[in-house]
Amino acid sequence: MLVRPALLPSWPPSPEELFGREGPLVLEIGFGDGRFTAELAKAHPDWLILGAEVSAASVHRALRRLRREGIGNVRLYLGEGPFALRNLVPDRGLRRVIVNFPDPWPKKRHQERRLLQESFFRRLSRKLAEGGDLLLTTDHEAYFRFALEEAGRTGLFRVAVAPPPEAHLRTKYALKWKEAGRAFFHAVFTKVAEDETPWPPLRRYEMAHALLEGSLPEALSLEKTPVPVAGGVAVFLEVVRGERGFYVLTHVEEEDLTQDLLLEVRPSARGVYAGVGRFGSPLITEGVKEAVRALVARLASMGLRVVQDHT
């Protein structure tokens, strides 16, 4: 089953809401084609396994595999692992996190894109239950050393370097690197203390729209220049004229959440509505609201007058 954050009744959801029952909760980040996830689920039918993966094609492949094999104790989230860690699991709710063959980002200038950074480990310490752990397996020695250093800097984990468990060497990438004769590195990071730094809440708003006096413009053009939003940017990618008005394909990147959504500009009983469309059930975050404000400002510059502002 695919997890749709915007449709969840509570935030973060309880394992009961996600899986229909309680059980040891395990998060796998970057599950790729899901063959390891499926094996893990079958080996531990009592576990509740949440997978996070940024590649839509991989999520699709993994979903098909889980359905084909009739596996019921896995839920998949299409999106960033850090977002799932932050928002889809309760504090101290995780028994284990598994990261197999994370993207190594070998170039120095790309290192900030690596998953297992100090900030990630700090947040992880809040989400792991007492004695909970993270299992890392990789073929990339420099990344391995990097992760050990980043975790070490937090002082929140006990680290044990050990040979990888056999099951972790049967993932798609493990098999590929085995064939290429590469060496493997494995570590278990066990939580020993918790980070006290408050984790800024991801605010979720119910509305993000404005009503404007005036009539729908004949044409609407928006610059592709990125609009700065809290912790990221928003970009208006494309404006399309539909039957009822304009759809604005908008890309919003925030700290650990990236969304593509549709903003709408259409006639309303009072004049013109400009706001978030329902398509895709986007999360109405501060960044999304900033994007709507930029759109409304553009309409105001075209002579429409804001009469109600819910941004």
**CB nearer ligand SAM, residue 55 or residue 268:** 55
What DSSP character marks residue 217?
A: -
Catalytically annotated residue among 33, 46, 91, 103:
103
Both tokens of 173, joined, read 């990438």
Q: Give the integer Cα–Cα distance in Å for 240 and 235.
A: 15
Least distance in angstroms from the C-beta of 26 to ligand SAM: 14
**CB nearer ligand SAM, residue 12 or residue 271:** 12
**CB nearer ligand SAM, residue 76 or residue 292:** 76
Least distance in angstroms from the C-beta of 116 to ligand SAM: 10
139 counts as catalytic: no
Q: Give the integer Cα–Cα distance in Å for 37 and 129.
A: 21
**CB nearer ligand SAM, residue 258 or residue 268:** 258
User: Binding of ligand SAM at residue 115 (CB under 6 A)?
Assistant: yes
Contact letters for ligand SAM, residues 33-52 (x by CB under 6 A):
-------------------x
Q: Taken in order 39, 43, 45, 46, is the CA torsion positive or negative?
A: negative
Q: Give the integer Cα–Cα distance in Å for 81 and 176.
A: 23
CA dihedral 159, 33, 257, 72 (to 10 degrees): -90
Q: Outline where DSSP puts E strands in the chain.
A: 25-29, 48-53, 74-78, 94-100, 128-138, 157-161, 185-191, 209-213, 227-229, 232-241, 246-253, 258-268, 271-276, 305-310
Bond prior to 228 in cis (omega within 30° of 0): no
Per CB under 6 A, which of residues 183..242 are in contact with ligand SAM?
none
The arrangement of strands across the sheet holding 157-161 comes to 74-78, 48-53, 25-29, 94-100, 128-138, 185-191, 157-161
Least distance in angstroms from the C-beta of 47 to ligand SAM: 17
| Count of residues that interact with ligand SAM, criterion CB under 6 A | 20
**CB nearer ligand SAM, residue 170 or residue 266:** 170
Least distance in angstroms from the C-beta of 237 to ligand SAM: 22
User: Binding of ligand SAM at residue 31 (CB under 6 A)?
Assistant: yes
Neighbours of 300 (CB within 10 A): 15
Query: Which residue sits closest to ligand SAM, CB atoms considered?
Result: 30
The piece of 156-164, 166-174, 196-204, 207-215 that touches ligand SAM (CB under 6 A) is: 166-174
Least distance in angstroms from the C-beta of 104 to ligand SAM: 8
User: Binding of ligand SAM at residue 54 (CB under 6 A)?
Assistant: yes
Cβ-proximal residues to 178 (8 Å cutoff; 6+ apart), any chain: 169
Per CB under 6 A, which of residues 68..87 are in contact with ligand SAM?
80-81
User: Binding of ligand SAM at residue 100 (CB under 6 A)?
Assistant: yes
Q: Give the integer Cα–Cα distance in Å for 286 and 244.
A: 27
User: Binding of ligand SAM at residue 29 (CB under 6 A)?
Assistant: yes
Phi/psi at 226 (5° precision): -60, 135
User: Binding of ligand SAM at residue 173 (CB under 6 A)?
Assistant: yes
Q: Which residues are catalytic?
A: 103
Question: Which parts of this chain interact with ligand SAM (CB under 6 A)?
Answer: 29-32, 52-55, 58, 80-81, 100-103, 115, 171-174
